[in-house]
Structure 1
Amino acid sequence: MRSLRAQLAADPSIGAGNVLASVIAHGADLTGPGLTFDTAVDHFPAEHPLTLGELDDRVQARTSWLRDRGIGRRDVVAIWATEAADIVLSYLALTRVGAIPALMNGKMAPAIADEYIRRLRVTGVLADAAHRPLLQEAPILGEPKELGSGDPAKAPEHYRHHQDDPVVITHTSGTTGVPKAVLHSHTTLYAALKHLLTMPQAQGTNRILNALPIPHTATILMVNQVLGNRAEMLLLSSQDAPTVLRKIESWKPHGVYGFAVTWAGLAREDLSKHDLDSVRMWFNTGDCAHEPHIRKLVSVGTRETVTKQGRTTVRGSHFIDGLGSSEMGHNGFHVTHTIDSEHYGRCIGKPYQFAEATVLDSNGSELPPGKVGLLGFKSPSVSPGYWNDSVNTYKFRLNGWFLTGDLVYRDETGHYFHLDRVPDAVAGFDGPQLYTSMSEERILAALPEVLDCTVIIVQDDGRFVTDILLELSSTADPAADRDARVREAVGEEVAATIRRMSVVGQDDVPVTVTGKVRKVALRAERASGGEASSGALVSATQSTGGAGGGESIEARAGR
C-alpha cells in the first residue's frame, strides 16, 4: 500500500484549500499530530498538542459559526490578530466554506490597515480584542475566538475547490506604504508542497518550531506541509529571539523555520548558554541570510551524517538558505550550509526542481552567466496576481517571467547570487555599481564586532552618496575608528561614495511589520532637502553586446 504522502501527491483534488480534510479522507490517524499553538484554543490550554481529530473538530466549530453568519463562497474576510491560533484556525475554517481569508500582520499601523481593508473590498473582518477598536469603518464580523463557540456537529459540507479557486490573500512587507495584497489559488499554493511529497522527507522536518510571521504565506505553507507529512509543529505568535530560544529549550524542535530578522536576533545572543542540541536544521525564507549569522547557527545543534562506520550524529546543524517571497509562493532557491561551508557571498543556490529562473535585462532578454540583471522566476507556485490590482499584477511580468524585484547574477555552475533589491541599488553599465545588501554582507563578514548593519544610498547634489549604520556588540567600543576597515570591506567603488558612518542601536532602524529594514524611509530621512530619494535612482544597466551599448533595467517589486 502506498504511503499517505504518496497518496496525497497523487491526489488531483488536493490543494491549499482542503489539506486538512484530504489528509483525513486518505485515512490519517485521528489521534496523530494536528497542530500545537502557544496560546489556548477554546477549552484546550496553551501548548496542548492538538490531535488531528481535535484540530478538525475545532475547525468544524468555526466553520459552523461562519455558515450561521452567511459567510460562504468568494466572500473575502480579513483577519487582523496577533495570536497564531486565531489566524491559522480562522484560515482553515474560512477555506472550508469557500471564503477567501485575507491575513493581516498584527503590527500593521491602524491607518494602513483601514486602507488595506478598503482596497480588499471585504465582506467582513475578524479582529481580535486588541485590534478591533483600531478600525474605523471596517465591517466587523466578530473576534476570531468567538468562532470556537460554533457547533461542529452542524458544520456545512466542505466546499469543493476548483484548481483555480482563490483560497487566501497574504500581503507584502509594505516597505513603501500600503502592502500589496498577494492572491494564492488552491493549486498554486500547494504546487511546491506536492512536489516535496514525492521526495524523501528532509532531516529535521518531523518536529518543527514555526518562528515565521503567522499571517505570511510561509506559515500557510508550513501548516499544509506538516499536515501532509504527519509531523508536529508549534506555532509561535511572536518571533523575537528570546522567545524562540526559550521555546527551543523547552519544546526541543528538530527544525526551526524563520526569516532573516530572526536569525540576526539569535546571532546577537550567546548561544553557548542555551540548550540547542535538538536542532538539526534551520530553514530560512524571504530575504537570504547573512554569512556571520548562518555561521553562528550551524555551530550549534546536531545533525545526522553517514560515515564509513554508518549513520552517526555529529556536532553542528544544517542551515537551508534561499530566496522567497509571497508572490513566489514558496522559496524559489535553496542552498545548504554546515560548519564546513564556504559557498557564501550571498549565494542563494539553485532553483528547486519545480521552478525555473533566469537573469533578464529590461527588455526581457536573458543575460549570460556573470552579468547582473533582474531575477526572472517561473513556477507553478507563483501567485496569480495582486487582489484588485491588475496594474501591479502585470507590471511585474516580463516576457513570461515574474520579476521578483531582485538584482542577481548566476555563475557558470548555475548558482545564483543576490546583490540587492532593485529600489535600494544603483547599478550602471557605464556608471557606478552600488549594492546595499552586498555591502552589508561584506561589512558583517569583515568586522566581527558588528552585529548588524544597514547601508543606504541617496542622492546629494546630483551625486550618489552612501550612509552606513552599524549596530555593535556590547563589548565593542563605539568610538573606535572603523573607517578604513569598512572601506576595504565594501570595495573601492562603494567606498568612494561613503558620506558618513554611524553607530546605532537595535531599535534605531525603522522596520516593516515582518522586520525588514524600511530603506525607503531612511532614504527619505537622509536625502538632501528632506525629500525622499525614490526608486527612480535605481538604474541597472547591462551590456547588450554592442560597443559601449547598454540596456537600462528599471523595475519595482516588493516582498
Structure 2
Amino acid sequence: MKPHDMGLLFDECAEHGAATAVHLDRPFDIAPDGGTHWTVPQLATLVRDTAGRLAAAGVKPGDRVAIVKENHWDYDLLACAAVRLGAVPAQLSARLSGEALATLLARLSPALLVTSAAVLERARHEGADPAAAARATLVLDADVPGTLGPDDVRGHTAPAPVRRSDDQPLVINHTSGTTGVPKLVTHSTRTIIGKLARFESVRYPWIGVRRRDTLLNANSFAHGRTFCWTASVLCLAPAHIVVVTTQDPFAADPLLRAHPPTLVEALPASYVRFRPLTERLDNPFRNVRLFVSTYDAMHPPTIRAYLAASRHRGPVWMQGWGQTETGPLTFRFHRRGTDDGLRGPGTRNLGRPIPVKTRLRVVDPETLRPVPRGRPGLVLARTRARALDYLGEEARWAAKQIGTWWNTGDIGVRKRDGSVELLDREVDHSPQLSCLTAEDLLEQRLPQALECVVLTGTGGAPLPVVVTADGRIDEADWRSAVRGLPPMADPVALLWEDVPRTDTGKVRRTALLRQLTGDTGTAGSGRWT
C-alpha cells in the first residue's frame, strides 16, 4: 500500500489489515484516558472522532487549523483529522516564544486554534495571546473562559471526507528558526506525500522497514518530517511502533527496554541525551540494525557510541540532510569499525544527492555562478519535492529561487566524488574557520562534552561554547583540544538547559550569541536564512 489521502490514511491502513501495535510513553493529549497502547483500527477511530470534534468547533473545507500543544504523535492525528474535513493543518511547536507564536498565527489567521491550557498561559505570560489570532480556540485539557473546552465538542459525528487536488495546500509546517522567527512552509499532497512519503514507502534492502521490525521515533512531532514519516510507516506496517516524547533518558528507558527497537529515528538532541543508556549492560539499543538522523548533523562520538551499543552484526547509521522546504536532499551511511566514514570531515560530508530525486550545485555567493569542485560556495538544490511557498512571506520565498534551483543558505564544497561537505550556514560562516568542522574536532577531543558550539560575530575571534554535565571544563583539557585549530576566544562552559534551543533541539545560535555577548551581529550576510 502507498499513502495518498492523509485524511483517510488510518482508515485505509486498518482496512488493509495493518497489525501494528503502537506503544506510547504517555497517553495522547487528544485521548488522555485512552492509555498508552493502540492498534491501527483504534487510531483510525480516534482520527474520525477528532474530525467530528473539529467540525463541531466550526472547521470547514479550506479553513486553516493551527495546532500548538505539547509534543506528541497526536500532532499528526490532529492534522489527519483536519485534512479529512478539507482543512489545512498548521503544526506549530509549543516551544516557540510567545512573540514568535503570535507572529506565525497572525500570518495564518486560522479558523481554529487547537491548544492546551499551559500553552495559552505561558504565551499570555509573555505578553502574547494566541487565541486573539483565531476565529475560535479549542483547549484540549481544560475549560478556559472565552474558548471551547473538551465537553463542548465531544461526541459529534465526522462529516464525509473531503477530497482535494494533489496540488492544493495540504499541510503547513515551520522551519527550525535557529536565527529568528521561523518561516511557514506550505506543502501539497504532491510534494510531501507523492514525492517524499511514497519514496519512503518501499521495502528497500537493509534500510527498508520490515513487518517484524520495532520502530522507535523520538522526534519533534510538530515538524513536517514526522507528518511524512507517519504516512510511510503506517503503510509499511511494522510489528511495533514506539513513540517517545521526552528527552529524559531515565523517563524513556522503561518503554525502550520493554520494546527494544530494531530501527531508530530520533532528533540529534535526543540521541545526545539518550547516550548514557548505551553504556548499560541491558542497553535498549542492542537489537538496532538502522539508526536514522535528520534535522542537524551528528557528531562522530555520538554515532560511534550507538553503533557500538548494537549487537547486530552490521548496524548502519543513515545520515540525512535536507530542509523543511525540500525534504531530504542527500544520504550518507556510517558503519561500525575503522571504515565508519567518520574521520576527515566526519559527519560534515553529507554524501551524494539522492539518485534521480535531487541535484546539487555549488555557486559563488556574489555572482551565483558555479564554482569548481573543491571550492566553497552556496549550495543550491533542485527537487520536485520542493514546497509551494512561505505563507505570508512570498518575497522571501522568491528571493531564494534561482531559476529552477533552490538556495539552501548553506556554504559547502562539492568533492571530486560528487559528495557535498557542509561548512556552515551562510549566516554563521567566517573566513577564519568552519564552525561545524571545529565543533566536530572539539567533540572528538573532549569526551566530557555533550555538545560544542562555535559562534561567530561581527568582530573578534570565534567564541567556543562547551556544554557539559556539570557546566565546567578543565583548562588543560581545553588547551589540548584546540591545538592546531585557528585562534578562538576563551571557552564558555554551560549546562544543557542553559542553551537556547529550537523544538528540534538545534542551538539557536543568534539567541546564544546575544545571551553571551549582548550582540546579534553575525559573520555572514544572512540574506538567505
TM-score between both structures, scaled by the size of structure 1: 0.82
Counterpart check, 1:73 vs 2:54: no
Residue in structure 2 matched with residue 129 of structure 1 by the alignment: 117
Residue in structure 2 matched with residue 105 of structure 1 by the alignment: 93
Q: CA deviation at 1:229?
A: 0.6
Alpha-carbon distance in structure 1 between the residues aligned to 2:233 and 2:202:
14
Counterpart check, 1:348 vs 2:350: yes
The answer to whether the 8 A contact 1:348-1:418 is kept is yes
Residue type of the partner of 1:75?
Answer: D
Change (3 A) 1:38 1:478: closer
The answer to whether the 8 A contact 1:86-1:144 is kept is no
Residue in structure 1 matched with residue 326 of structure 2 by the alignment: 328
Residue in structure 1 matched with residue 363 of structure 2 by the alignment: 360
Counterpart check, 1:165 vs 2:168: yes
Residue type of the partner of 2:222?
Answer: P
Counterpart check, 1:258 vs 2:266: yes
Residue type of the partner of 2:322?
Answer: G
- Please state whether the residue corresponding to 1:200 is helix, strand or coil: coil
Residue type of the partner of 1:297?
Answer: Y
- Of residues 204, 212, 215, the one that matches 1:208 is 215
Change (3 A) 1:169 1:288: same
Residue in structure 1 matched with residue 465 of structure 2 by the alignment: 469
Residue in structure 1 matched with residue 35 of structure 2 by the alignment: 46
- Of residues 267, 271, 276, the one that matches 2:279 is 271
Q: CA deviation at 1:284?
A: 0.3
- Please state whether the residue corresponding to 2:182 is helix, strand or coil: coil
Q: CA deviation at 1:268?
A: 5.1
Q: Residue deviations 1:261-320, cap 9 Å, x none? A: 1222233556234342132221101112111111111101233xxxxxxxxxx2x63211
Alpha-carbon distance in structure 1 between the residues aligned to 2:152 and 2:422:
44
Counterpart check, 1:488 vs 2:483: yes
Counterpart check, 1:194 vs 2:201: no
Residue type of the partner of 1:187?
Answer: R
Change (3 A) 1:486 1:147: farther
The answer to whether the 8 A contact 1:204-1:255 is kept is no
Change (3 A) 1:83 1:480: closer
Listed as ranges, the matches of 1:410-429 within 5 Å are 410-427=414-431
Residue type of the partner of 1:53?
Answer: P
Change (3 A) 1:149 1:201: farther
Residue in structure 1 matched with residue 139 of structure 2 by the alignment: 143
Listed as ranges, the matches of 1:254-333 within 5 Å are 254-267=262-275, 271-273=279-281, 274-303=283-312, 314=313, 317-329=315-327, 331-333=328-330
Counterpart check, 1:440 vs 2:442: no
Residue in structure 1 matched with residue 145 of structure 2 by the alignment: none
Change (3 A) 1:35 1:157: farther
> Which deviates more from structure 2 when the two are superposed, residues 156-165 or residues 79-88?
79-88
Residue type of the partner of 2:88?
Answer: I
- Please state whether the residue corresponding to 2:117 is helix, strand or coil: coil
The answer to whether the 8 A contact 1:83-1:237 is kept is yes
Residue type of the partner of 1:339?
Answer: R
Q: CA deviation at 1:327?
A: 1.4
Change (3 A) 1:144 1:35: farther
Change (3 A) 1:401 1:367: same
Residue in structure 2 matched with residue 516 of structure 1 by the alignment: 506
The answer to whether the 8 A contact 1:66-1:147 is kept is no
Q: CA deviation at 1:204?
A: 7.0
Residue in structure 2 matched with residue 156 of structure 1 by the alignment: 159
Residue in structure 2 matched with residue 378 of structure 1 by the alignment: 382
Q: CA deviation at 1:144?
A: 4.0
Alpha-carbon distance in structure 2 between the residues aligned to 1:91 and 1:210:
18
Change (3 A) 1:298 1:148: farther
The answer to whether the 8 A contact 1:300-1:317 is kept is no
Change (3 A) 1:336 1:242: farther
The answer to whether the 8 A contact 1:284-1:322 is kept is yes
The answer to whether the 8 A contact 1:287-1:324 is kept is no
TM-score between both structures, scaled by the size of structure 2: 0.87
Alpha-carbon distance in structure 1 between the residues aligned to 2:274 and 2:506:
16
Q: CA deviation at 1:91?
A: 0.8
Residue in structure 2 matched with residue 548 of structure 1 by the alignment: none
> Which deviates more from structure 2 when the two are superposed, residues 212-221 or residues 377-386?
377-386
- Please state whether the residue corresponding to 2:161 is helix, strand or coil: coil
- Please state whether the residue corresponding to 1:131 is helix, strand or coil: helix
The answer to whether the 8 A contact 1:16-1:189 is kept is no
Q: CA deviation at 1:75?
A: 0.6
Residue in structure 1 matched with residue 9 of structure 2 by the alignment: 19
The answer to whether the 8 A contact 2:472-2:493 is kept is no
Change (3 A) 1:269 1:278: closer
- Please state whether the residue corresponding to 1:348 is helix, strand or coil: coil
Alpha-carbon distance in structure 2 between the residues aligned to 1:249 and 1:373:
45
Q: CA deviation at 1:237?
A: 2.5
The answer to whether the 8 A contact 1:209-1:236 is kept is yes
The answer to whether the 8 A contact 2:275-2:306 is kept is yes
Q: CA deviation at 1:127?
A: 0.8
The answer to whether the 8 A contact 1:204-1:254 is kept is no
Change (3 A) 1:515 1:116: same
RMSD: 2.6
Alignment gaps of 5+ in structure 2: 142-149
Percent identity over the alignment is 22
Alpha-carbon distance in structure 1 between the residues aligned to 2:351 and 2:84:
37
Q: CA deviation at 1:119?
A: 1.8
Alpha-carbon distance in structure 1 between the residues aligned to 2:151 and 2:83:
14
Alpha-carbon distance in structure 1 between the residues aligned to 2:100 and 2:377:
32
Alpha-carbon distance in structure 2 between the residues aligned to 1:148 and 1:56:
22
Change (3 A) 1:328 1:202: farther
Q: CA deviation at 1:37?
A: 3.6
Alignment gaps of 5+ in structure 1: 304-313, 540-553
Q: CA deviation at 1:36?
A: 4.2
- Of residues 388, 392, 399, the one that matches 1:388 is 392
Number of equivalences: 498
Alpha-carbon distance in structure 2 between the residues aligned to 1:386 and 1:485:
46
Q: Residue deviations 1:235-275, cap 9 Å, x none? A: 22223443444432122221111121122223355623434
Alpha-carbon distance in structure 1 between the residues aligned to 2:52 and 2:497:
44
Residue type of the partner of 2:37?
Answer: H
